[in-house]
Amino acid sequence: MTYSFWRVAREALRGNTGWKPAWRDPVPKEHYDVIVVGGGGHGLATAYYLAKLHGITNVAVLEKGWIGSGNAGRNTTIIRSNYLLPGNEVFYEHSMKLWEGLEQDLNFNTMVSQRGVLNIFHSDGERDAAARRGNSMRLHGADGELLDAAQVRAMVPLFDFDNARFPIKGGLLQRRGGTARHDAVVWGYARGADRRGVDIIQNCEVTGIRVEAGRVRGVETTRGYIAAGKVGLACAGNTSRVAALAGLRLPIESHVLQAFVSEAIKPLVHTVVTFGAGHFYISQSDKGGLVFGGDIDGYNSYAQRGSLPIVEDVAEACMALLPCTGRLRVLRSWGGIMDMSMDGSPIIDRTPVDGLYLNAGWCYGGFKATPASGWCFAHTIAHNEAHAIIAAMRLDRFATGAIIDEKGAGAQPNLH
């Protein structure tokens, strides 16, 4: 069923009795050409592009809970391509372009809103760094503008410009950045994949990966054994656990990241803003709630909840940037498990096991990458080699020394 204005009008006149479920609930087959483990945005996008671009439709997406119940439902919905290093920027700009055509491609309202992403800076040194990153973005075909304090003030007048410690000196703006509706992205990809023949199998946890003579043969699941020609892992925070089933040990630690939403208020933050003097970012949802977050808690965790010191830290940063929020109540907070890689950049690659592919290490930047991650991972699975866009995102880069250390923090996952 294609969604359109005419469909909505027709259903309105027929009491909305014609709507059908957007995807099937199939029983797992005995064999698939490709099994994607993980029914989040990345896994579903992978299945979608496998079917759409590579003609591989005998595909299953296995999800241990319900689709979109992991980090796809726990992020702060920001999309942007404002990276410095070539290994990253090419990829994220590809993702940005896919976002820009996603709704037409999926025939689904993913609510992509290019309201801009503004990185505020507070010192001359930060201005230099912002200018350098902006130049890098423009050299890679993305957009970036360096704003002075007056231009920032025109965009976000209620921010604390004359803060004694962190006066706002300007910002790096990417106008094409913004937000998208996270659940709709999951549902749109699920529907698009399903319409092309992909089986989306929920409540099906992978408990084993069968490897014979160095080649993957299939997966053991809570719904029985399923044979597969190829298996792709897109398991985010649980990547280490699932990869261990195939005997792999990865350059990844799992950490918890919290996010918050306030009660709904009238329009206050018209763009996505990041604080330069602390790790803090904020935007406003269409419902009016301020959506914000900060640092990871900083220690290995598989608990999808965080601790209070980070809540305090994030609240302090919010007050430093936006003092007018002091009386605002926080409605909800939640935590997701991040697959923190050792250099802060993702991995999309083959593995030492033939037919087993890895999509991991997204740290806390996975949502914006969803379209390109699926696009590139599908290419890797279909052709057994990486696309030029992800030439740098290799699993062996830690051994070769060609790491993509965007923050220059070294092999410290809790600092990325």
Partner 1 sequence: MRIPCPHCGERGNEEFLYRGVAGLARPAANAPDTQWHDYVYLRDNPFGSHRELWQHVHGCRRWLVVTRDTHTHTIADVADVATPAP
Q: What is the DSSP letter of 106?
A: H
Q: Tell me: does residue 359 bind partner 1 (CB under 8 A).
A: no
- 71 Cβ contact partners less than 8 Å away, ≥ 6 residues apart: 40, 236, 237, 336, 337, 338, 362, 366, 367
**Residue from 245, 307, 333, 409 in contact with partner 1 (CB under 8 A):** 307
**Residue from 29, 223, 241, 407 in contact with partner 1 (CB under 8 A):** 241
Q: Which is nearer to partner 1, 158 or 303 (CB)?
A: 303
Dihedral angle of Cα 12, 13, 14, 18, to the nearest 10 degrees: -40
Q: Which is nearer to partner 1, 146 or 415 (CB)?
A: 415
Q: Which two tokens stand for residue 369?
A: 């990458």
Backbone angles phi, psi at 287, to 5 degrees: -80, -15
Backbone angles phi, psi at 175, to 5 degrees: -65, -30
Segment interacting with partner 1, rule: CB under 8 A, options 33-41, 51-59, 264-272, 296-304: 296-304
- Residues binding partner 1: what is the number (CB under 8 A)? 25
Q: Tell me: does residue 250 bind partner 1 (CB under 8 A).
A: yes
Q: Which two tokens stand for residue 408?
A: 């220059």
Q: Tell me: does residue 70 bind partner 1 (CB under 8 A).
A: no
Q: Which is nearer to partner 1, 19 or 299 (CB)?
A: 299
Q: Is residue 329 exposed (0-12), middle (13-18) or buried (19+ Cβ within 10 Å)?
A: exposed
Q: What is the DSSP letter of 52?
A: H
**Residue from 8, 9, 264, 399 in contact with partner 1 (CB under 8 A):** 399
Segment interacting with partner 1, rule: CB under 8 A, options 48-56, 61-69, 250-258, 272-280: 250-258
**Residue from 151, 288, 398, 405 in contact with partner 1 (CB under 8 A):** 398
Q: Which is nearer to partner 1, 314 or 381 (CB)?
A: 314
Minimal distance, residue 85 CB to partner 1, in Å: 18
Q: Which is nearer to partner 1, 53 or 399 (CB)?
A: 399
**Residue from 145, 155, 298, 330 in contact with partner 1 (CB under 8 A):** 298
**Residue from 302, 354, 391, 402 in contact with partner 1 (CB under 8 A):** 302
Segment interacting with partner 1, rule: CB under 8 A, options 84-92, 175-183, 243-251, 354-362: 243-251
User: What CA–CA distance (Å, rounded) separates 125 from 76?
Assistant: 28
Q: Tell me: does residue 413 bind partner 1 (CB under 8 A).
A: yes
Q: Tell me: does residue 301 bind partner 1 (CB under 8 A).
A: yes
C-alpha Rg value of the chain to the nearest Å: 21
Minimal distance, residue 306 CB to partner 1, in Å: 10
Q: Which two tokens stand for residue 127?
A: 């201005």
**Residue from 342, 348, 382, 386 in contact with partner 1 (CB under 8 A):** 342
Q: What is the DSSP letter of 158?
A: T
Buried/exposed code over 117-148 (b: 16+ C-beta within 10 A; e: otherwise): bbbbbbeeebbebbeebbebbeebebbbebbe
Q: Which two tokens stand for residue 130?
A: 């912002």
Q: Which two tokens stand for residue 336?
A: 């997701």
User: What CA–CA distance (Å, rounded) separates 402 from 414?
Assistant: 20
Q: Tell me: does residue 300 bind partner 1 (CB under 8 A).
A: yes
Q: Which is nearer to partner 1, 66 or 299 (CB)?
A: 299
**Residue from 20, 249, 266, 287 in contact with partner 1 (CB under 8 A):** 249
What residue ranges in 125-184 does DSSP mark as E strands? 145-148, 170-174, 178-179
For residues 110 and 185, the answer to whether their CB atoms sit within 8 Å is yes
Name the site residues for partner 1 (rule: CB under 8 A): 238, 240-241, 244, 249-254, 298-303, 307, 309, 342, 398-399, 411-414
